[in-house]
Structure 1
């Protein structure tokens, strides 16, 4: 096993050699989320702006009668907010925040496919030359000629909660 594979988060792979993921684009970059946390992929919905909320989770949406936060993770990565297009979608995920299951929506520019990533093709983010915080990235997985970024949603949401002084708890996850 090469050195880079050993440094990748053990929590993500959980002893597996393959990971089933949903791939999507944000600002021209390919990202992937573990498929098991994805609850649904939605066309854009009406958003309600939350007065005084930070831009990262500045809106909420109605998901099956529940009010859930809508996160724009591009802002955590220092990317500029963009206008939605015909391909834009919302991925509804279930994650644990502060030990509690929470539903949240994530804005994307385009959703691609459910696919399998190989652990052997994964590498930790480089310590030099990255424009993003390395703790926001679980790993980079090479597929063909492209790299797929697997974000560390727990670190992103925790950092955002620390920065804003509040946690995200608008909806609860149901499995």
Structure 2
């Protein structure tokens, strides 16, 4: 079974050790033979009409195209993020520019059966000028990348992801 990652923020592949990270680029693929056998090619276009993504169909006799409004699309995962500042929970805008102990709690739970075929991946960055230290649960990795600290975690198929991290925020 091929598993796809549900993108919560952006994707960073992280090794099992704290501070280690690796990025990989898939090998180049020659799609020439696939395109030559295609009965139809569909394009998703941007507001200027430029193709941004192509879909190739080998047998279009049963194919159908339907537009789904963005508001109707549902992620396979329900994402809940809460924040705390020096203890009590606060709104996200209250930690911007604040000093003190900031906690970030992330809980990703399955929301539909599509979660049985996807893996939740959560990644975010914190500029080093706003904190000198970040600690996270052992299910997450923390690494410094340039002038940012990267926090990343990957869950499991159909079971979700739950972790927290703490940082000493400075103005």
What TM-score results when the alignment is normalised by the length of structure 2? 0.25
Q: Which has the larger radius of gyration?
A: 2
